[in-house]
A and B are shown apart, each in its own frame.
Chain A
């Protein structure tokens, strides 16, 4: 593709972004985003952060407006069985009739006044670095609707916040921008689940989903991001977090594949004693590509980060995992762990995994490891030696690899939802799945 058409492509996005309606007080953010988006160099193979993840599928589809949704869109939906405050967005548009009544802590950008608006203005676009993250710039430029969760100091959000982003069938290219801002004041507690879904029918959608999080002193957030859109949905997204003193973030993420799914996690430890626990699963199949880029920035002493990602890559699919850990010269006594394990279930499957450590403090504990392997034959033999049929043993081992993390998920509704759905990926034959335990 020539430079000119790339510019057109970026321009096309800007035109659409400009057509979004949004409150005046967000104009500054949108202009800044538009500026960055149009001046940024378009990623190529030489761009470090996009090296293994070509944006060609997105350039091929392009941007567009979503047509009105089909009447039966909801029939294709299966959501978590959970008692939560539910917000449903369809192709980026809020659907109040499918959503719960919003508690005081949850405010849509368009309806934000007074204190809520002040919180948004204080934090929105401030956690993410849009100069570094190209699609954050686009998100800023595109900001119209969005959701703020603001939990006041020492309060506990009563019910989990469950935000569902549905993409429906679309013959024409269509783009949705999803924006979430989670602000937990000092000592606050909350649980948030972001769930991206789509129907199985024809898709040409592109979802740009950006979440910014501020966890105040001693506050604790449980955060889930489930990227379960079907094959043809392209998705670029990010979760960007600031952790204040002794703040805790327990995060879980999963992605099933499409031709392009790229998700960034950036977590900034800004206050001493902050803790991060991040677990992730990715399962690309067919010709899909999933790319997780994580960056943990330890800026101050005495913080911990534990990060574990497991991926199963099948068929001709590809996975990219880039785990960066940055430890600032002042961040003594940091404890940082990173583990990435990959299981290839086909000879054509591919993984590029790369830990990137930048450690400038001397008194730290930092452990990292990345492995790529195939079916564990010793374990297979062990199961078979007990009479278990080979086909079932293989399913047990593949699912077990995922289940190592799944079983640690704190929210039972997430476990219950994912368990059987992920198991099905390993065999269509329910006979082979019957002994798996989802507890």
Chain B
């Protein structure tokens, strides 16, 4: 599904990703952990083609094609989804119009018929119920004055509506209360399928008790420095990252 080879990327003239490699097969869940500032969000930004993030080396193949050739919106329509660590507030643009525009664009790309306003409203309401977000949030501006947890649930809502193939969750668990964490985990687990893959970026082993990963990677200094199974997350929880840096050095 996704094959990242020796990826190097800079932002503001500074190299952040320094030869990162990662392979993800359909249906797999990969957790990425790592110290603050190590490049986890940068990876998400680079994969989604955010302006200002320059790829200086390596390759990214997604579903057999060169991902880096595509525009941000094309990547999204091809099924790449990033749940933002910091979702963006857009006052004046209603959540509803935003969601409809996104779903329409995606369905069009997949040659699916457009949902009528009524059909979409029904779908949006049902889905927001699943992420425990009141339907009134559909009428508000995109993320406008949402609480931290509400923003994360809104990310999940978008993910569910867009039915992506590869989902990157960037600290979707941060700032969530226990119940909300459960909601997010259930949402992700319900979407797990043999065709759909996930990259789950998190600082907390706790999330991985709910969303059990196939692989756990440690990203440090712009590279994957260690990979393992879910036991690695427990080890990290107990020992921190210091021992790894020594091991790598």
**Contacts from A to B (Cβ < 8 Å):** 376-379, 381-390, 392-393, 396-397, 399-404, 407, 435-437, 439
Contact = CB atoms under 8 A, between A and B. Distances in A.
Contacts of B162: 386-387
Given A381-B51, A407-B92, A435-B101, A387 B87 contact: no
Contacts of A381: 48, 50-51, 72, 88
Interface residues of B, number: 33
Q: 3 tightest CB-CB pairs across the interface, nearest first? A: A400-B92, A386-B102, A404-B92
B97 A385 contact: no
A393 B76 CA distance: 14
B197 interface: no
17 contacts: A377-B51, A378-B88, A379-B88, A379-B90, A382-B84, A383-B102, A385-B81, A387-B105, A388-B98, A390-B73, A392-B105, A400-B93, A402-B92, A403-B92, A435-B97, A435-B98, A435-B100
Q: Which of A383, A387, A402, A436 has the largest number of chain B CB atoms within 10 A? A: A387
Nearest to B87: A382
Given A387-B102, A387-B162, A397 B90 contact: yes
Contacts of A403: 92-93
B91 A400 contact: yes
B42 interface: no
B93 A385 contact: no
B105 A389 contact: yes
A393 B71 CA distance: 14
B92 A387 contact: no
A403 B96 CA distance: 14
A221 B189 CA distance: 55
Nearest to B99: A386
Nearest to B91: A404
A388 B77 CA distance: 9
Contact of A396 (B75, B77, B88, B98): B98
B92 A437 contact: no
Contacts of A393: 73
Given A382-B88, A388-B73, A397 B101 contact: no
Interface string B90-117: 1111101110111011100100000000
Given A381-B50, A387-B105, A437-B97, A399 B92 contact: yes
B72 A437 contact: no
Nearest to B100: A435
B158 interface: yes
Contacts of A386: 73, 76, 98, 101-102, 105, 158, 162
